[in-house]
Chains A and B, each alone.
Chain A
Amino acid sequence: MVIDFSQPTPVEISEERQLSASRREMVLNMGPQHPSTHGVLRVLLTLDGEVITSCDPNIGYLHRGVEKLGESHRYSQFVPWTDRTDYVAAPSNNLGYVLAVEKLCGIEAPERAQYWRIIMGELARIASHLVWLGTHALDIGALSISLYCFRERELILDIFEKFCGARLTTNMMEIGGFSRPIPPELPEMVRTFCKVFPGGQRDYELILSENPIWLSRTRGIGVIEPEVAISYGLTGACLRGSGINYDVRKAQPYLLYDRLDFEVPLGSHGDVFDRYLVRMEEMRQAIKIIEQCIDQVPTDGDLMLHGSPYTIPPHDTVLTTAEDMQRHFIWVIKGFSPPKGEVYSAIEHSKGELGHYIVSDGSPMPYRMRLRTPDFVNLQSLPYMAQGAMLADVVAMIGTIDIVLGSVDR
């Protein structure tokens, strides 16, 4: 196709919307290629001067049909796909998915694997929050924070790389535990990170927390009242910033979170600044959780549930015994068939409640795979927040919701 560049490009706004904007107003098409929409979010803004009169987020530019693909992949094949939904916190997605499948199959990972799952999940939470903080501060104009954040995030990615060889799309967890051994130097790396990270976090807080410009840009901006937050189904820091105490780790503990001592930070005003404080405190609590886990985790023991028809047999017995070799072959080629039924399993992802709803018809592939991604739901509150705000505030609001478009669009 030859594009005629001599003709003015038609602006992609429906006629109806174009007409609804009065002469005084201007329709601004923000995205899908825009530096601060964090990917391919497109927001149609109607501006009166710089004040937003209406805001309509359009999503779907990164839609890959993950739910449809889930219905045509065997249960174990879908784990890599979960990495690609929220790609800044891939281990958390792995965790949510494998917990759902394990619940469906009625199995549970060994204790050592559960501890390491918590560690990896919390590391992923910190990594995700660091990306959030860096980009959010960059949107508001603080240039250096993003590089400071990525400095610490590198250490987390190094840990992931040491464990599974990948830094971003980790494909780390397997149904029933971990399929890889824990490298002997990994606990030490995690400990080092726990020592180093608070110093880095102090840097960010020194630059931001008491900076008058940062306060004026975040305080009282994007306020969500508690009732509204519940009605919009917000979860994660967006809900806790409004002062509602709902953290899946505390409310409905999964893995071994009920054994660990940590606190859930709550905001009081529900504005951008409170959500910033909540996430900063969450990173501190995550370090606390990791330190407890690394002290409590058994150094020896299985990382994978053995003897179950739903899990992959261990590598050494596959090579030595005939039964396990056959089971391994069947597990890989045909997959396993969980019982008929449906489960909904939720975990506290860095962005909110990540739920997986799986309907099984007894075949090796899910009948229906539903990903309830937190940022898809949280993004709905953008028009509510943006009403009457200024153009520069919309950028701060998109940042504060903490979206990853791979996860919004799935």
Chain B
Amino acid sequence: MSEEHAQLPARPKLTADSWATGYWGPTEPDLHPAVYAVRERFPDAFIDAINFRDEMTIRVERARLRDVIAFLRDHPDQRYNLLTDETAVDMVRLRDTPRFDIVVQLYSIPNRVRLRVKAGVDDGETVPSLVPVHAAANWMEREVYDMFGIVFEDHPDLRRILLADDWDEGHPLRKDYPLRGFREYVQPGFTKPAPRIRTRLRRPQ
């Protein structure tokens, strides 16, 4: 809590009792200190903040993602120093563009508060890697690259991690990837591939 920040009147602050109950911070986006700080520092990159089930999500521009995460890590009031998770979601069935969301879950060990930061990225676009900010992002980004085919700039070692190095069938967690893969596979002892089972459940389109 440095002095110059304390002088700003409208800046919301986390209080001690907020730790016990709403540990994602205040539910109202305007009252959330991290939302306030990001909006103030990155007015052009900040898109919006959503709250669902008391969980605060900040959506930012793809190109400034690393800056936002670094800012949240280093800001003396925020200190979101633990990168809990970094993953992606293929939003192709929910919206038109951008296709993917990069989802970053942050946690502040000193403030005991969580935060989610999202950035939309389209197929073919790249995302700044978070490895320079959090070493933990290394394998998570490799997994995102492996599963979604999203390329991260400045990643030290971007190669497949869970699938085989020579996997040539695309990226399995994309929604257009069939559950059993593109290739027909004949099991040992069988002459033809097992029939594909179609689920009767249809998703609402």
List A residues at the B interface (Cβ < 8 Å): 59-60, 63, 65, 67-69, 72, 74, 103-104, 106, 228, 230-235, 244-246, 251-253, 258, 334-335, 341-344, 346, 353, 355, 357, 359, 361-365, 367-368, 370, 372, 376-377, 379-380, 409-410
Complex contacts, A246 vs chain B, CB 8 Å: 82, 109
How distant is the Cα of A342 from the Cα of B85 in the complex, in angstroms?
Answer: 14
Residues A359 and B135 in contact in the complex (CB < 8 Å), given A246-B82, A344-B105, A377-B140 = no
Task: Tell me if A344 and B85 are in contact (CB < 8 A).
Answer: yes
How distant is the Cα of A228 from the Cα of B83 in the complex, in angstroms?
Answer: 12
Complex contacts, A342 vs chain B, CB 8 Å: 52, 55, 57
How distant is the Cα of A186 from the Cα of B139 in the complex, in angstroms?
Answer: 42
How distant is the Cα of A377 from the Cα of B85 in the complex, in angstroms?
Answer: 9
How distant is the Cα of A353 from the Cα of B134 in the complex, in angstroms?
Answer: 17
How distant is the Cα of A253 from the Cα of B20 in the complex, in angstroms?
Answer: 7
- Please name 17 pairs of A and B residues whose Cβ atoms are closer than 8 Å in the assembled complex, sorted by A: A63-B163, A68-B177, A74-B201, A103-B53, A106-B53, A233-B84, A233-B137, A234-B136, A235-B84, A244-B109, A344-B114, A346-B114, A355-B105, A357-B85, A361-B93, A380-B135, A380-B136
Number of interface residues of B (CB under 8 A): 44
A376's partner among B19, B139, B179 (CB-CB below 8 A) is B139
How distant is the Cα of A368 from the Cα of B94 in the complex, in angstroms?
Answer: 12
A104's partner among B53, B57, B82, B109 (CB-CB below 8 A) is B53
Complex contacts, B140 vs chain A, CB 8 Å: 377
B105's partner among A60, A368, A372 (CB-CB below 8 A) is A372
Task: Tell me if A60 and B161 are in contact (CB < 8 A).
Answer: yes
Complex contacts, A353 vs chain B, CB 8 Å: 84
Residues A365 and B87 in contact in the complex (CB < 8 Å), given A230-B109, A357-B103 = no
Closest chain-B Cβ to A341's Cβ sits at a distance in Å of 4
B43 on the interface (CB 8 Å rule)?
no
Task: Tell me if A233 and B87 are in contact (CB < 8 A).
Answer: no
Complex contacts, B23 vs chain A, CB 8 Å: 251-252
Residues A361 and B164 in contact in the complex (CB < 8 Å), given A65-B172, A355-B85 = no
B55's partner among A245, A258, A335, A343 (CB-CB below 8 A) is A343
How distant is the Cα of A68 from the Cα of B177 in the complex, in angstroms?
Answer: 10
How distant is the Cα of A406 from the Cα of B198 in the complex, in angstroms?
Answer: 28
Complex contacts, A363 vs chain B, CB 8 Å: 201, 203-204
Task: Tell me if B87 and A341 are in contact (CB < 8 A).
Answer: no
Residues A60 and B164 in contact in the complex (CB < 8 Å), given A67-B173, A343-B55, A355-B84 = yes
A232's partner among B90, B109, B135, B173 (CB-CB below 8 A) is B135
How distant is the Cα of A357 from the Cα of B105 in the complex, in angstroms?
Answer: 9
Closest chain-B Cβ to A387's Cβ sits at a distance in Å of 14
Question: Within B95-123, which residues are at the interface with A (CB < 8 Å)?
Answer: 103, 105, 109, 112, 114, 116
Closest chain-A Cβ to B94's Cβ sits at a distance in Å of 6
B138 on the interface (CB 8 Å rule)?
yes
How distant is the Cα of A251 from the Cα of B160 in the complex, in angstroms?
Answer: 34
Complex contacts, A362 vs chain B, CB 8 Å: 204
Task: Tell me if B90 and A368 are in contact (CB < 8 A).
Answer: yes
Complex contacts, B20 vs chain A, CB 8 Å: 253, 258
B10 on the interface (CB 8 Å rule)?
no
Closest chain-A Cβ to B131's Cβ sits at a distance in Å of 10
Closest chain-A Cβ to B159's Cβ sits at a distance in Å of 10
Q: Across the two chains, which residue of chain A brings its CB closest to B164? A: A60
How distant is the Cα of A359 from the Cα of B91 in the complex, in angstroms?
Answer: 10
Which 4 A-B residue pairings sit nearest by Cβ, starting from the closest?
A: A233-B136, A60-B162, A341-B52, A372-B85
B81 on the interface (CB 8 Å rule)?
yes
Complex contacts, B179 vs chain A, CB 8 Å: 68-69, 72
Closest chain-B Cβ to A187's Cβ sits at a distance in Å of 29
How distant is the Cα of A233 from the Cα of B105 in the complex, in angstroms?
Answer: 11
Complex contacts, A103 vs chain B, CB 8 Å: 53
How distant is the Cα of A334 from the Cα of B52 in the complex, in angstroms?
Answer: 25
Complex contacts, A344 vs chain B, CB 8 Å: 55, 84-85, 105, 114, 116
Residues A361 and B139 in contact in the complex (CB < 8 Å), given A67-B173, A68-B172, A233-B134 = no
How distant is the Cα of A103 from the Cα of B83 in the complex, in angstroms?
Answer: 22
Q: A233-B135, A353-B84 are in contact. List 4 more A-B contacts (CB 8 A).
A: A233-B136, A343-B53, A361-B94, A363-B203
Complex contacts, A365 vs chain B, CB 8 Å: 201, 203
B2 on the interface (CB 8 Å rule)?
no
B89 on the interface (CB 8 Å rule)?
yes
Closest chain-B Cβ to A356's Cβ sits at a distance in Å of 10
Task: Tell me if A380 and B203 are in contact (CB < 8 A).
Answer: no
Complex contacts, B139 vs chain A, CB 8 Å: 376-377, 379-380
Task: Tell me if B84 and A72 are in contact (CB < 8 A).
Answer: no
B199 on the interface (CB 8 Å rule)?
yes
Task: Tell me if B89 and A359 are in contact (CB < 8 A).
Answer: yes
Closest chain-A Cβ to B205's Cβ sits at a distance in Å of 10
Task: Tell me if B84 and A372 are in contact (CB < 8 A).
Answer: yes
Task: Tell me if A63 and B52 are in contact (CB < 8 A).
Answer: no
Q: Across the two chains, which residue of chain B brings its CB closest to A56? A: B157
Complex contacts, B55 vs chain A, CB 8 Å: 342-344
Closest chain-A Cβ to B161's Cβ sits at a distance in Å of 6
Task: Tell me if A231 and B162 are in contact (CB < 8 A).
Answer: no
Closest chain-B Cβ to A59's Cβ sits at a distance in Å of 6
Task: Tell me if A252 and B81 are in contact (CB < 8 A).
Answer: no
Closest chain-A Cβ to B115's Cβ sits at a distance in Å of 10
